[in-house]
Every structure is written in C-alpha cells, then in structure tokens.
Structure 1
Amino acid sequence: MLLLSSSAHHIYWLGRYLFRIGHVASHLPFCDDEQAADFAQALCLHIDDAENLNNFMLDHQQPYSLLSQLEIARDNIQELRGLLSAQTYAELNHIIKNAVSDGEEIQAVVGKCCALLKTEQNDVFLFFHVGQCIEKIDTHFRFQHNIQDVIASIDPIIEQLFELGWDDLQPNWQILKEQPNLNQFYAFTYNLENQFEAFS
C-alpha cells in the first residue's frame, strides 16, 4: 500500500463528507413542510418545516449545516497537503473557502472537488471513492432506498481494497451483501475503521 494509513483515512472521510454535502444540497430548497420534516428526521434533526430546514442547512453557525460540513472537509484537505498535487490542493482550498450559502452553488462546489480528486493518483481516488460509496450506503439506509442495488454497484470498488491486502474486510462485506441491514453495515464500517488503524 503506497499511502500512509492516516492519509488514506483523511481521503476516505473527505469522500464521505463531500457525498453527504452533495446529497443534501441537491434537495435544497425545500418547499413542502412534510417532506422537509421527513428529510430532517432521516438526518436525526428535530426540524419540522421547510423554511427552518433550509435556513439551518445554510447557516454557518450550525455545526451540522452544509457550510460547516464543508469546513470539516477542508480540514481533511489540510491534512493531505503533502500528498495531493500542489495545484489540486490549492484549488480545493480555494473552491471550498469561497463557497456561498446556496444549494446549487454548493452542489457545484462538490462537483468541482470530485473532478479534481479524480485527477490524483489511483490510490488517492480509490479511498476517496470508497468513502463516497460507504456514505451512499448510509444514505440509502437513512432514506429507506433500495440497499441491494447500491451494494451490488459498489462491490467492485470494495473488492479493490482486498487487492491491497485488506482481506479482513471480506467476511463482513460478504455478510452485508447477504444480509443488507444496519447492524451488518455498522459491523462492516467498524471493521473498516479498524483496518485504517491496523495499517498505520
């Protein structure tokens, strides 16, 4: 494995944060109170109307707002300064630093960040992609979408981790494929976090 485990971990979480931010931003602005309340509940937020959810998601002062999540993503990027190309590092920081409080603009920010990271070395993009895949599964569970289809589509990405020597993940991943429920998902992600520590 070419990457330091700590770097791989930061890239993985960068992928998770950017997917999460992009998913929420794609639903803004909410216009229907019932839909907004259901969406908020899936995110474990106690908000029951569209206006308050829209305001919350674009409020710098809220720790779980999109802008705050972008700052956390930027913190992960800071940890990757020596790994990312100088151009990618500078552009990612510039793009996120200048993000504005608008759902469509934030979607564009996420898209630009993802496009930049695709240009990096294969191992960097692999762990970024893994992070996005895990967050996608989490999102499907939260919003009660079809889990089996998304797991099947992600399977080739997870298989690449086994090729890097992360074989301990294989039993949990196989169980998750056979029993796609939250308990098995949490067991897999717990094992994945342990793998980052094991390879440090």
Structure 2
Amino acid sequence: MVSKPQSPPLSRSQIRKNIRNARKNLSKAEQEQAAKKIKVNFFQHKNPPKNARIGLYLSNDGELDTSNLIQSLRKENHRIFLPIIHPFNGTSLLFQRYEENSPMTQNRYAILEPKLNCSHICPLYELDYLLMPLVAFDKSGNRLGMGGGYYDKTLARYYREHMQKPELIGLAHDCQQVELLPTEAWDVPLQQIITPRQFYQW
C-alpha cells in the first residue's frame, strides 16, 4: 500500500494568517459567549489576592474580548494595567494604570492605549498577573504572537532572571489551538493558557 506524501508543515506566517481568519470569522454571539466563559474560567482557576495588579489588553483583530473580565475585576477592586508601546525604544511594552475615565490614544496599530502618564506606570515585576493575547498556541504551551515581538522583548529579562512575578497567562479562543507550532530560539512557552472551555497548565 502506497502511503500518501505528507504535506509540508505550515510556516509561522501561514499559521498566523489561518488562525487570525478563524477568530475574525467568529460571530458576534460567539465572541460574547467566549467573553463570558473566559471570565468564569479565570475566576474559577485563579483567586487573585486583594487589590491585585493585573496586566490585560483591549481586544483587537478578533482577539478574545476582555471587557467583561475587566469590569468584573474592577468590581472586586483589582487594579488593571494596559500595555503601551514604549515611547523611547518603540519595541517593548510598558504597563499603565487603566481606569474607566483614563484618557486614551491610538498607537501605531490603531489600538487604543492609555495616554502616557509616567506616574501611572507599573514595573513589570510589580504586576501579580499578566494576561497576554496570542494568535496561536500548541499542546506544549508554545505561543505565537502577531509577529512584532513586543511581548518577547518585554519579557526577556523576566525569563533571563527567573523572576517570580507576574504570573503569565495566555488568553485565547479554543479555535486558536494547533497541534504543533514551529518555534524560534527566543520563544519561551507559557505555563498557563485559558480558553473559554479549558484551563491548560504545563
């Protein structure tokens, strides 16, 4: 019996394109349901300490909507911090306090972020949790981002110095999981990923 030739593995850019299309094709109802479930899943598996400092993101490009989760965290008096592109090096992220009335501005990708206020910046190591967006992930916790490398550069010292905080958690739709991601030397797998249906821990 002649076996069929195997298809070559998809490249990172091909996977990125396929998964971005998949999540952008989710209906409004599916997105709303996912946002509710991710909130429940986070609180079910995590018990944030009182007045926790939590790094989050505002959804873009079909990413999992975090607005529901942010509202619930605020009600419990947790403090929310959003990423802003570093104003000087332009290749890494800072995390700034995000209030309901925070002045906002669009960054180079037309994503809303708090208007820079140095007195509201929280050093990475003072965050309790960092909930990160991603494009795709695999069964080993490997993460594929949008390709800009912002989180990789921001977290380089964190991994190098084995920092204890923040606790890193990826957020994703279930459709963003793939069997195996091609990895690069600088890639570091996440230890936790939460989807609307699952909590993965490695």
TM-score range, shorter chain: 0.3 to 0.5
Structure-2-length-normalised TM-score: 0.32
In terms of fraction of residues, the more helix-rich structure is: 1
Q: Which has the higher contact order (CA 8 A, sep 6+)?
A: 1
Structure-1-length-normalised TM-score: 0.32
In terms of fraction of residues, the more strand-rich structure is: 2
